[in-house]
Structure 1
Amino acid sequence: MSIPSTRPLRVVVVEDQPLFRSMLERTFAGTPGMQVVAALGTSTEALRMVRPGFADVAVLDIDLPDGNGIALGVSLRRRQPTLGILLLSAHDAMALLLDLPSDVAAGWGYLSKTSSTSEAVLIGAVRAAAVGETVLDPALLARMTPRAGSDVARLTDRQYEVLRLLAAGLSNAGIGEKLGITEKSVQNHVNAMYATLGIDADPQRNPRVSATLRLLEETGPAH
């Protein structure tokens, strides 16, 4: 999935709280290379307005007054398979990504409204959604621990750290910078982590998305 570099990334916002909606609108409109094509308050409005080709990414609140953002995202994605989806919620609903229908499951991001998500994380998650990647909320990921007996639990501490940063949307270079190691070392850790999780280089599936969903599937909140 790629956006022509000659035009801005077109974002539609669907959020029923006017204050939060206008904050999102201002953030995206003020970001170079981004354009807000619509800021809406209901699922009904979105289904009426967001036709194929109208937007590149839809930023959807999960809790809408006339439905939920996940069902809306599924409908929009089935109309436009290349549409990126970023879900927002006031409560931790990250695990709902595991229940998405398989035909639309790739490339959904999730951020919590109540975690300390920065503007940079929000913008990064929108850009990731535009190219079919999955980004999860870094603050929520920090509170997760691997389930006993899972493949994720077999990762070394460093491999798990790399997986968590990868799931938060960091590139190999960004992970290396965060951990103070070389990009080559990060790639070695990523390759070893893929091997442990049994993720192959199937060109039909983005391995980073597969690894992110495995992390979500095989971890739970720390007690």
Structure 2
Amino acid sequence: MAKILVVDDHAVVRAGVQQFIAQRPEWQIGGEAASAQDAIRLIRAQDWDIVLLDISMPDKNGVEVLKQIKREKPALPVLILSMHPEQRYAVQILRSGASGYLQKEALATELVEAIQTVLCGHKYISHAVAELLTQEPVAEVDKPLHETLSAREYDIFYRLSQGEAVTRIAEALCLSVKTVSTYRSRVLQKMNMSGNAELIYYAIKQNIID
């Protein structure tokens, strides 16, 4: 059963999503948060299969919340639910690591499709968002170095930047030391860096770690 965290400052919206999810026996609302602070606390305290995140939070910008989630749990998928039209935020949100963007006024069937798509490990991109992405391609050279990494490479990079040893990373991710070492070499090559010290300095400079 997929465990879902709903983050929205409007109780009516949370209740509506709760009522909808209750009709899907394979899904459950495992928690709700009305603020960014509560959301981060719950994300740190428990394991989740997906986060439904409102972009407009009272205490912190939704984009910043998304970035913090991806820093702390890079593999956790986040589906953005927003009252704003796609052309305003969708491209930026997807570039920041979201697994999808959906307007709150979307049909229930669209929400089902979006959640199912994201839970299967894919990004949910509507026709409107796909058109925006086509119109505004992103050059790799314009991206911060860490955004050129794959999800697994970013996970390795983040752990290395926190000072974790290769052996500990291998144990935590159920990988061999050789595999982690290969990922480390690939990360260093992609980011044009020579060692962990440079990774740590970069991560601090980019506010990826404190």
User: Structure 1 residue aligned with 2:99, among 108, 132, 141?
Assistant: 108
1:20 CA displacement: 1.1
Note the residue ranges of structure 1 that are not aligned, 5 or more in a row: 1-7, 152-203, 206-223
Greater RCO structure (CA 8 Å; 6+ sep): 1
Gaps of 5+ in 2: 138-149, 152-210
Change (3 A) 1:21 1:120: same
- 1:79 CA drift (Å): 2.0
Provide the secondary structure at the position in 2 that maps to 1:132: coil
Normalised by the size of structure 2, how large is the TM-score? 0.57
> What is the DSSP-based 3-state SS (H/G/I as helix, E as strand, rest coil) of the residue aligned with 1:77?
helix
> Residue 69 of structure 1 aligns with which residue?
62
Deviations 1:78-125 (A, max 9, x none): 22222111001111221213542xxxx3x61000123xx221210221
Displacement of 1:132: 2.8
1:2-81 map, 5 Å: 8-51=1-44, 53-81=46-74
Change (3 A) 1:98 1:11: closer
Aligned length: 136
The offset of 1:142, in angstroms, is: 8.7
Contact 2:94 2:101 in 1 (8 A): no
Could you tell me which amino acid in structure 2 is paired with residue 64 of structure 1?
A: M
Which residue pairs with 2:92 in the alignment? 96
Deviations along 1:144-193, whole A, 9 cap, x unmatched? Answer: 6964xx99xxxxxxxxxxxxxxxxxxxxxxxxxxxxxxxxxxxxxxxxxx
- Cα offsets for 1:4-28 (capped at 9, x unmatched): xxxx001000011111111011111
TM-score (norm 1): 0.53
Aligned to 1:186: none
Higher percent of residues as helix = 2
CA distance in 2, matches of 1:28, 1:80: 24
Alpha-carbon distance in 2 for matches of 1:38, 1:146? 36
Contact 1:82 1:132 in 2 (8 A): no
Is the 1:52–1:79 Cα contact (8 Å) retained in structure 2? no
Question: Could you tell me how far apart the structure 2 residues matched to 1:144 and 1:125 are?
Answer: 18
The equivalent of 1:177 in structure 2 is none
Partners of 2:62 and 2:99 in 1: how far apart?
12
The alpha carbon displacement at 1:70 in A equals 2.2
Identity of matched residues, %: 25
